[in-house]
Every structure is written in structure tokens, then in C-alpha cells.
Structure 1
Amino acid sequence: MKIEDLLKRFQWEQIPNTNGRFTLSQVEPPRSITDLVDSAEIEIKQYPSAHHQELIFVVELEDGGLISYQRKDASFIHTLNSQNMFKRKQWELGIISYSPRGVPDDPSQES
């Protein structure tokens, strides 16, 4: 699965002041991470959050990834990220331990 697949299937909005990061539009009906991925073959990893009432779900895509935050009330905030932004956000969240500064920008996903 690629970023483009999810961009075509759902309505996403670019996160202000970012390149290659999108959030699922609020006009979309509430969806879980499994609703978005809709495939038993794609691995969904779960991580604890620094916010005790939140869980983080990560799905690696061919050209980036999906990071979703599940709140205490079971609602989700979904973010779709280009390859570079996906690595950076995982590093910021403490999911990966290496700095993504060496990850080259992917200009094909930054529009």
C-alpha cells in the first residue's frame, strides 16, 4: 500500500507548515486504523504514548507511513506521512532511536 492509495480513498488535509504530512479531514466519518488500512496483510504496530490516555498506532507504507493516535474516548487522529516525515515523527515520538537527519527528503511526496 502506498500513500497515494490512502490519499485517493479518503479526504486528507495537509498539516499547516509541513511538507509531506496530512491529517484525515474532519468531514470524514470517524474511522479506526483498521478501517483505513483495510487489509489483514498490513502490519499495524502499537506503542504507548507519553500521554497516558493515548495509544499510538504505526503502519509502514511502501513510500511513507500512517501514524494514528487513539484517544481515551476511542476516537482517532490519523496522520499520513511521506517517507522522511514518517521517520522524523517516529523519532520525535521515541519509537525509533536513531536520528532521521540522514534520511534524504523524498521530493515526490512533498507536494
Structure 2
Amino acid sequence: MASSLAGLLGKGAPEVNWRKVFGPEYTKVERQALWCRAYSLTDMTAFINALDVFNEWLLSRLYQHDSGLGTYTLGKIGSVLNSTRLKAGYPAVLGLAASVHNQR
């Protein structure tokens, strides 16, 4: 997954233990990251949709990690795009999620 994200983000890709972040869902999320990378090179419309799905997984794990954010239901990304707690604690994640989701 790290190589797929590095392909998308370039040298700005963070060093993250993605297996630890996503736990038992890692294999599914890794596959999604691979699709994101492939679509980024071939089909921008599909890329945006694939990245929106990746962001769903990311938000799901973030909300599980930080219970102070409240609750998040996978598939309901629009429900958190105006979250003041998400904006205060993780503005870059919110910016990414909102930007991608609003381009669909």
C-alpha cells in the first residue's frame, strides 16, 4: 500500500504503518489503494470514485481510533463533512475527504 500511496502523493507520502492502522481490513484497503493508483493513471472519473471509497475506510478507522470525534458509519461520508471536531483535530483529512467527495 505504501508504494501505491507514494505513487499518488510523491515524496510527500507519510511513513505510516498502514497494516496497523487498518488492522483486519488491511487487505481490502490495500486493494483499494492499488485501484486508486491504477485509475489515477488511466481514468480520472474512476480515480475520484475509488479515492472516495479509500477515504471512507480512512475515516472509519480514524473515528474508531479517536472516539472524541463521535461516530461514523461506513458509507456515510457526507455526514461528517461539516464536523467541527474533525475539522479541529484532523483538518487535512477533512480537506481531502471533502475535496474528493465533492468532485464525484
Q: Shared fold (TM-score greater than 0.5)?
A: no
Question: Higher strand fraction: Structure 1 or Structure 2?
Answer: 1
TM-score tier after normalising by the smaller chain length: 0.3 to 0.5
Question: Higher helix fraction: Structure 1 or Structure 2?
Answer: 2
**Which structure has the higher relative contact order (CA within 8 Å, separation 6+)?**
1
TM-score (norm 1): 0.31
TM-score (norm 2): 0.32
